């Protein structure tokens, strides 16, 4: 299938967005405001996890209203039935903390990218050969950008998205190491700030991580870095 909503087009859009905001909230009432705050900071790919109360219904309400260029996906999807439900609710991509072939099969039947979670090179290759559109390296907390470089040595074509251990300031390091995008949760969506109603903190976080992304892209494009003293 070709077109703006095809799997390939969605993956390209995620790569262009560079940052996937992983949204976990105890109080779902904040969800729309959190999304708006992140968008104000430049985030264009947002993952609503199944740990958010009423996540599937919220997806059904929010996904159709997403602005131009904004990608709403579902995260923490661990079985095929849930994958089918979130896709029906409007999820543009499906992210899982684990690798389940059945989830990939459901996603592909609906022309939606599947992004399973893997930790070892063997898992990563198994998931890629099973059709994963992007492999979520999770948890990346115990790893580092060098891990991506090492994996890309023998597996240069695999699209990797580290999640866990990605901060506002090191996102660019992961991209320079070969990540196609990064997944960022608590470092971006500060739970204490949300609880206090300080959504401006989320916008500031988003701007900070997107600045890290911009510097990484500038350095990899061969352009001279901006003068820090300017």
Residue 136 falls within a domain, yes or no?
yes
Contacts with 124 (C-beta within 8 Å, 6 or more apart), sequence order: 118, 135, 137, 151, 155, 158, 160
Q: What is the Cα–Cα distance from 75 to 19, expressed in whole angstroms?
A: 14
Which pLDDT tens digit goes with each residue over 36-76? 999 999 999 999 999 999 999 999 999 998 988 999 999 99
207 catalytically annotated: no
Which pLDDT tens digit goes with each residue over 131-161? 999 999 999 998 999 999 999 999 999 999 9
Q: Beta strand pairing status for 135-137 and 117-118?
A: parallel
Dihedral angle sign, alpha carbons of residues 50, 55, 57, 59: negative
Residue 178 falls within a domain, yes or no?
yes
Residue 207 predicted with pLDDT over 80: yes
Residue 106 falls within a domain, yes or no?
yes
Q: Count of domains in the chain? A: 1
Q: What is the pLDDT of residue 1?
A: 37
End-to-end CA distance of the chain: 47
Contacts with 133 (C-beta within 8 Å, 6 or more apart), sequence order: 7, 10, 11, 93, 107, 113, 114, 115, 159
Please pick, among 47, 123, 129, 228, the residue that the annotation labels catalytic: 47
Residue 228 falls within a domain, yes or no?
no
Residue 1 falls within a domain, yes or no?
no
**Residue 81 lies in domain:** 7-217
Residue 170 falls within a domain, yes or no?
yes
Please pick, among 26, 32, 39, 136, the residue that the annotation labels catalytic: 136
47 catalytically annotated: yes
Closest CA relative to residue 35, chosen from 212, 167, 206, 150: 206
Residue 199 falls within a domain, yes or no?
yes
Which pLDDT tens digit goes with each residue over 154-189? 999 999 999 999 999 999 999 999 999 999 999 999
* CB burial of residue 201 (10 Å; 0-12, 13-18, 19+): middle
Q: What is the pLDDT of residue 2?
A: 40
Model confidence at 222, in pLDDT bands (50, 70, 90)?
A: low
Q: What is the pLDDT of residue 219?
A: 86
Closest CA relative to residue 201, chosen from 191, 211, 210: 191
Q: What is the pLDDT of residue 68?
A: 87
| Strand, helix or coil for residue 136 | strand
CATH number where 11 lies: 3.20.20.70
Residue 227 falls within a domain, yes or no?
no
């Amino acid at each position: 299938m070709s077109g703006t909503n095809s799997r390939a087009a969605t993956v390209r859009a995620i790569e262009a967005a560079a940052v996937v905001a992983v949204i976990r909230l105890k109080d779902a009432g904040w969800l729309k405001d959190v999304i708006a705050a992140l968008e104000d900071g430049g985030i264009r790919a947002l993952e609503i996890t199944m740990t958010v109360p009423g996540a599937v219904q919220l997806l059904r309400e929010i996904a159709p209203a997403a602005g131009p260029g904004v990608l709403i996906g579902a995260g923490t999807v661990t079985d095929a039935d849930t994958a089918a439900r979130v896709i029906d609710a409007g999820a543009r991509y499906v992210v899982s903390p684990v690798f389940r072939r059945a989830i990939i099969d459901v996603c592909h039947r609906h022309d939606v990218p599947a992004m399973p979670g893997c930790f070892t090179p063997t898992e990563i290759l198994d998931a890629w050969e099973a059709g994963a559109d992007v492999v979520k390296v999770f948890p990346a907390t115990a790893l580092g950008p060098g891990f991506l470089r090492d994996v890309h040595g023998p597996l240069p074509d695999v699209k990797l998205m580290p999640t866990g251990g990605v901060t506002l300031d090191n996102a660019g390091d992961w991209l320079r190491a070969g990540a196609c995008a990064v997944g960022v949760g608590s470092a971006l969506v500060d739970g204490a700030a949300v609880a206090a109603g300080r959504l401006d903190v989320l916008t500031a976080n988003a701007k900070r991580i997107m600045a890290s992304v911009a510097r990484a892209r500038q350095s990899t494009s061969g352009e001279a870095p901006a003068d820090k003293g300017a």
